[in-house]
């Protein structure tokens, strides 16, 4: 019980990033975790801070993030929810030089990376926060199959 109280106190003091780490440490699994990745494919895991849920996708040729029905994902697309403030094709994540980069696709709704507008492609790192349409998504994990 002391551990749970300590974790909750820690969460209140340090914020959402710590919440994601603690949820992972408490044994919650992200979607697709433990499943085999295809050769050369990437797996990204996000924590949707407003809906308090994990989102995950495997892809090889880039990943488009945008508005859509939850669970209606198709190869190369990840639905971030049915928010009117998010474009259908909001941003694109792709491999370049062995790393992943993100590019804003929307002319109407801006994409932000760690609080800064995404005017040019930027490299991604675990722990980055992607914001679109007032909703925040924490990049929890990046994995590439050998």
What sign results for the dihedral spanned by CA atoms 12, 15, 19, 25?
A: negative
Find the Cα–Cα–Cα–Cα dihedral 141, 10, 135, 145, rounded to 10°. 0
pLDDT of residue 104: 97
How far apart (Å, rounded) are the C-alpha atoms in residues 129 and 142?
13
Residues of the chain with pLDDT under 50: 1-29
Query: Start-end ranges of CATH 2.60.200.20 in the chain?
Result: 36-144
pLDDT of residue 73: 66
- Report CA-CA distances (Å) from 103 to 4, 16, 31: 39, 24, 24
pLDDT of residue 4: 33
| 36-144: CATH class | mainly beta
- Report CA-CA distances (Å) from 3 to 10, 22, 52, 144: 10, 11, 22, 34
What sign results for the dihedral spanned by CA atoms 105, 52, 58, 130?
A: positive
pLDDT of residue 74: 80
């Amino acid at each position: 019980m002391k551990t749970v109280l300590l974790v909750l106190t820690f969460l209140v003091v340090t914020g959402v990033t710590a919440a994601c780490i603690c949820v992972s440490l408490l044994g919650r699994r992200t979607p697709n975790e433990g499943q085999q990745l295809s050769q050369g494919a990437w797996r990204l895991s996000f924590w949707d801070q407003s809906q308090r849920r994990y989102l995950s996708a495997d892809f090889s040729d880039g990943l488009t993030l945008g508005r859509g029905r939850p669970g209606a994902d198709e190869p190369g697309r990840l639905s971030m929810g049915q928010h009117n403030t998010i474009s259908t094709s909001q941003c694109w994540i792709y491999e370049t030089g062995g790393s992943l980069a993100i590019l804003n696709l929307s002319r109407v709704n801006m994409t932000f990376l760690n609080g800064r507008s995404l005017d040019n492609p930027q490299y991604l790192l675990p722990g980055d926060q992607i914001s679109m349409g007032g909703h925040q998504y924490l990049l929890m994990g990046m994995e590439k199959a050998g």
